[in-house]
Structure 1
Amino acid sequence: MSATFPFDSRAARKQMNQASEEGSVKIEARGQILLIAIDRPRKLNGFSAKMLTELAQAYERLEKDPSMFCGLLYAEGANFTSGIDLAKFVDKMARGQRALPFPEGKIDPCSLRRPFRTTPLVVAVQGICFTIGIELMLAADVVVAADDCRFAQLEVKRGIMTAGGPTIRMVERAGWGNAMRYLLTGDEFDAATAFRLGLVQEVVPAGTQFDRALNIAERSAAQAPLAVSATIENARTAVELGPEAAVAQIIPTQQRLLASEDAKEGVRSFVERRVAKFVGK
């Protein structure tokens, strides 16, 4: 006997297909690492509004879940991302709204406003990595690139300016001339150039970028989470407010850390000559 369902199966299939077409951002907890996957390979992992919302939710989970000690952002398929569907966002931009729908008061994946992410994030990129792909990787902490990467910040070719941070971070990492060489032309550059300019930290054979990024994430997750977060915060203070402001944080931050369970465990493991087991408290 065939099963019957109290709904229109064609409508359900259409709804499912539409959701599939819009893509998704998937998360998976692997031990103390939160895997964040961009999943729309048939569309070169181009970001839909739905995916941008889910990305922000994933970053919020990474920051707020005390069991997650590190994050790893990666993409399914042959490419990291071709960018966003610009035609669907220009009206918002013209009205003075941010193009990327990251909720106020929540973690911004591009790290352009508070609250900032303090949980470390590693990114693995491959194939096409355009516009928001560069913005996301520059807002992360460590980037592993496959040697087949093609990078481009294409906004000037569309009559607009990049809004996710490269005008700040590419200049900061690569220097004015090196950054403007690509920001003002929209030209593509390869993984070797990205490494030379300090935009990525390692270049590996295509197909191995995820495993290498996971190894780095695991090494970070094995350290004391409070100390790792404090390191990120102090470095960010130095970049934003200058060395003097960062120096002023050192003693009170060390005092706070030394009162933690993890610092006590760290000292015990040193004395006992064993690997420390940190709990994030």
Structure 2
Amino acid sequence: MSTATSSAEQIRTEVHGHVLKIIIDNVAKKNSFTPQMMFQMSDALTLLDKTDEYWVGVVCADGGDFTAGLDMPKFFGPKAENWELRDETIDVFALANRCRKPIVTAVQGIVYTIGIEMMLAGDIVIAADDCRFCQMESKRGIAPFGGAHFRFLTRAGWGDAMYHLFLCDEFTSERAYKIGLVQEVVPAGRQIERAMQVAATIAKNAPIGIQVTKEAALKFIEDGEQAAVDYIPKIKDRVFNSEDFKEGIQSFVERRAAVFRGR
């Protein structure tokens, strides 16, 4: 394992084999995001996306809360700081450039506004049983800008999505699990451990196969069924021309665990 650290308000990263762990660390302010942290999160996701040795990402947070949302005065008003992300980096909310690698997010405690949008920008969510979810932007006179307006729909369906987006209410881990926003609920304090276990299991599979699976699924979400069908030959070529495909077949013949290399 290797680790990188910087200032008090920060996004830290650790490397665990083929898993890049991305840690939100602004505990004194309930992990509220500053513009600088937005840049750091984008850089960390870009590192995950661009580094061949990193096959899976885990996004998590120190302390008792995932995030209380934005540090509002630093984003809006007379003292607002610039927070426009660079075009060449991965978008924190996956609205523009989206990470090609699978992302498992572990959440606990307060998961407000952008916290929900960040977890839904990933792929799998492990929630502690003490979570308090709330998409409350409209209570503040604004609206969700990080993708909640459509990702709630794709995960929960129209009725449940509008119920929480319109009420701006606080709801539990049990409710989030019931409507499909999270995939597992575990005792508080176990969420990061479980997310790392899930990531490690994913990393045992062929990374090219996993990445094209995500790519093809997104093709359906973005362009519909026929586009997803038409996309199959492209992903077949990438898989069948990989060394990992040959290793997968050989390991089956030899009745052993495959050793994939991402090539």
TM-score range (shorter-chain normalised) is over 0.9
> Percent identity at matched positions?
44
1:34 aligns with 2:20: yes
CA contact (8 A) 2:38 2:92 kept: no
- Counterpart of 1:139 in structure 2 is 121
- Counterpart of 2:111 in structure 1 is 129
1:198 aligns with 2:180: yes
Residue 229 of structure 1 and its aligned partner are, at CA, apart by: 0.6
1:179 aligns with 2:161: yes
TM-score scaled to structure 1, two decimals?
0.88
Residue 243 of structure 1 and its aligned partner are, at CA, apart by: 1.0
CA contact (8 A) 2:36 2:83 kept: no
Opposite residue 188 of structure 2, the aligned amino acid is A
> Could you say what secondary structure the match of 2:143 adopts?
coil
> Could you say what secondary structure the match of 1:195 adopts?
helix
Residue 91 of structure 1 and its aligned partner are, at CA, apart by: 4.7
CA contact (8 A) 2:60 2:106 kept: yes
- Counterpart of 1:48 in structure 2 is 34
- Counterpart of 2:146 in structure 1 is 164
Whole-Å separation in 2 of the counterparts to 1:101 and 1:192: 35
Please, which of 103, 111, 116 is the counterpart of residue 98 of structure 2? 116
For structure 2, the residue ranges without an aligned partner over 5 or more in a row are: 1-6
- Counterpart of 1:104 in structure 2 is 87
Whole-Å separation in 2 of the counterparts to 1:116 and 1:123: 15
Residue 267 of structure 1 and its aligned partner are, at CA, apart by: 0.5
> Could you say what secondary structure the match of 1:184 adopts?
helix
- Counterpart of 2:45 in structure 1 is 59
- Counterpart of 2:55 in structure 1 is 69
Residue 228 of structure 1 and its aligned partner are, at CA, apart by: 0.7
Deviations along 1:168-220, whole A, 9 cap, x unmatched? Answer: 10012111121111111211000001001100000011111111111110011
Deviations along 1:204-259, whole A, 9 cap, x unmatched? Answer: 11111111111110011111111111000000000110111111111231122111
Whole-Å separation in 2 of the counterparts to 1:127 and 1:71: 21
**4+ runs of 1 displaced by more than 3 Å?**
none
User: Kindly tell me: are residues 100 and 172 of structure 1, through their superposed partners in 2, closer, same or farther at Cα, counting changes over 3 Å?
Assistant: farther
> Could you say what secondary structure the match of 2:100 adopts?
coil
Q: How many residues align?
A: 256
- Worse-matched range after superposition: 101-110 or 127-136: 101-110
TM-score scaled to structure 2, two decimals?
0.94
Deviations along 1:72-130, whole A, 9 cap, x unmatched? Answer: 000001000000112222259x9xxxx853221211121111x3211111000000000
CA contact (8 A) 2:93 2:146 kept: yes
Superposed CA RMSD in Å reads 1.6
